[in-house]
Amino acid sequence: MKIGRTWYAAGLLAAALAVLLIGWFVSGWADVRARQNTEEVTPVREAAARGAQLAHELRAELGQLMTREVERPYFHYQNLFHDPRATGTVGVTPSPLSTGPADALVLGYFQLDAAGRATTPTINDDVPELSEPRRLADNQRFRAEVRSSLGRELAPPERAPGGDGTAADTAEVTTVAEVSRPVAPRTQPREVPPVQPQVPKHEAQQVQIDPNSYVQNWNSNTIYQQYRNDPGLESAEAPPRVPDVATPEVKPVGKPVGTPVARPTIRPATPTRVATTTKPITITVDPLEWRTLSFGGVSTLVAVRRVDTPDGALAQGFVVDRTALTSWLAGRAGDAVAELRTGDDAATEIAPGWHLEVSANPRALARAAESAAAVATRFLLRFIVLGVIAALAAGLVVLLVSRAERLARERSQFAAAAAHELRTPLAGLQLYGDMLADGLGDPQKTRDYAKRMSEEASRLGRVVSNVLGFSQLERGNLSVDPSVGSLDAELRSLAERAEPALDRAGAALALDVAPELTAKFDRDALARIVGNLLDNAEKYGRDAEDR
């Protein structure tokens, strides 16, 4: 079976179109996947970048907190304290920590002695009215939790006596001397330069303090109670009596959260000249260190330092409020989800054993997934639309090829038919011409031979006219000149001219046309049409019984 050009063209176009579409789909889908991956990982990358930034900010925040607390004197961790700058005076004042932490990240301050006894600056066991009243229940719970969770873990071991600032050295400092002469009362202690030396931060400090200040800080509650109960202080004429303040049992204090409130008035002691030893007492304060401890059954960040005094070692520090940290992170995490985790991660470490884990918000991930799906949808729609357009274009090309092939086939058939039509009149012309030229045939029929030659010439002219008309029709320049005329008269005239030839061929022509029939027509075209019809009828009806 011979395959036509249309099928060849269809196959080639289908193969080319398939290759192009497959290549476009493969490369385009790879680009889609890359873009989808970019869309999907963008929230994760942004969360990671935000996590690193948040970790940096939180490290800075905790670093500032640690810097402030490193500079805090050890005696601030008790409810009452004596300022060492008020040299030569007797009197105590509430600790800055007695009303609760000023920093929102601190849950509370505490102090532990070697026996594991816990105190907090917001609670004064000896003088309950000095305790922070507004959050007393919370402060008591905090102290109880410090005792149960941190007491055994952080209680400092007993230190052997001896050396500078030890208990042996304090034998000289057991009392405060009597007043040598009365002086005007002061409401504020005399300002003198701080006695603490300048030392590098986050390193152990050797703090020297005068014995009078040390004794008053160690016995701050006793000082307060004696002065509060001494009626002699109510008389301006009688000089106040300075009590003996022999070093009693250790009674340090600590503190949790609270809001500054009105405190009981503490009458400042009347300044006195105090007999002191020439040798100051040395207090060793270790640097604060971050530790991860269980507090309330939850891993918690705790800052702890050791303080060595002549009367024993103390553990001081503060507990970081994990809830406040979570709120701090939530306010700065933006669209990400930030959580504190235990464990090491150098990129987001905020303290030893703690790191920040930041993940993309589920809503952001959902939006990224929708955007990634939209990328694929847009590509598929574009691919389908353009694929359909390309398939339609290929179909049109195949259709054009098919039409061209059909026209070529029709042209070939027409050429063959035209050649056949030309051969018949030419054969007649040649036959009758040869007979006339050679004097053959019946001399009486010479005119008949001439008529037949004329008829064959007319048929030949019609064939040539048809070929020319077909050629003009293909080129699109075939023109007609129609005009209104008598159609029955024209048909009768054409029939009369064709009738002799049909009679000689043994065919009869019967004309049935309405009289006075008018129409708009081209006479030449009508003559060609009628001539072709009669010729075909005569040729294809030769074997019919009724001609």
Predicted confidence (pLDDT) per residue in 74-121, tens digit: 999 999 999 888 777 888 999 999 999 999 999 999 999 988 899 999
**Residue 7's pLDDT band (cuts 50, 70, 90):** confident
d(CA 361, CA 336): 5
Over range 317-321, report the average pLDDT: 95
d(CA 218, CA 310): 10
| Sign of the C-alpha dihedral computed for residues 435, 441, 444 and 448 taken in this order | negative
Q: Per-residue pLDDT tens for 222-273?
A: 888 887 776 554 333 333 333 333 333 333 333 333 333 334 434 443 333 3
Percent of the chain with pLDDT over 70: 82
Helix (H) / strand (E) element for 416: namely helix 362-438
**Residue 502's pLDDT band (cuts 50, 70, 90):** confident
- The pLDDT value given to residue 344: 78
DSSP assignment of 236-282 equals SSSPPPPPP----S----BEE----------PPPPP------SSPEE
Over range 382-391, report the average pLDDT: 93
Residue pair 100/186 in contact by the 8 Å Cβ criterion: no
- The pLDDT value given to residue 202: 60
d(CA 321, CA 325): 6
Tokens standing for 512? 């049935």
d(CA 30, CA 40): 15
Over range 323-337, report the average pLDDT: 86
Please report where in the chains the tokens 């000023």 appear, as a residue: 102
- The pLDDT value given to residue 450: 83
Query: Between residues 112 and 6, which one has the greater pLDDT?
Result: 112
Long-range contacts of 64-71 (CB under 8 A, 24+ apart): 65/103, 65/105, 65/106, 66/202, 66/288, 66/290, 66/303, 67/201, 68/103, 69/288, 69/303, 69/318, 70/201, 70/202, 70/287, 70/288, 71/201
**Residue 3's pLDDT band (cuts 50, 70, 90):** low
Q: Per-residue pLDDT tens for 358-377?
A: 888 888 889 889 999 999 99
Q: What is the 3-state secondary structure (H, E, C) of 140-188?
A: HHHHHHHHHHHHHHHCCCCCCCCCCCCCCHHHHCCCCCCCCCCCCCCCC
Residue pair 223/99 in contact by the 8 Å Cβ criterion: no
What's the angle, vertex CA 414, arms to CA 410 and CA 419, rounded to 5? 155
Tokens standing for 525? 């075209």
d(CA 92, CA 473): 125
**Residue 480's pLDDT band (cuts 50, 70, 90):** confident
d(CA 173, CA 169): 8
On the question of pLDDT at 38 being above 80, the answer is: yes
Query: Between residues 179 and 306, which one has the greater pLDDT?
Result: 306
d(CA 163, CA 120): 29
Selection from 86, 83, 73, 124 nearest residue 264 by Cα:
124
On the question of pLDDT at 198 being above 50, the answer is: no
**Residue 287's pLDDT band (cuts 50, 70, 90):** very high
Over range 161-187, report the average pLDDT: 36
Query: Between residues 348 and 251, which one has the greater pLDDT?
Result: 348
Instruction: Kindly report the average pLDDT of the chain as a whole number.
Output: 79
On the question of pLDDT at 380 being above 80, the answer is: yes
Torsion-angle region of 506 (φ positive above 0: left; ψ -120 to 50: alpha; else: beta): left
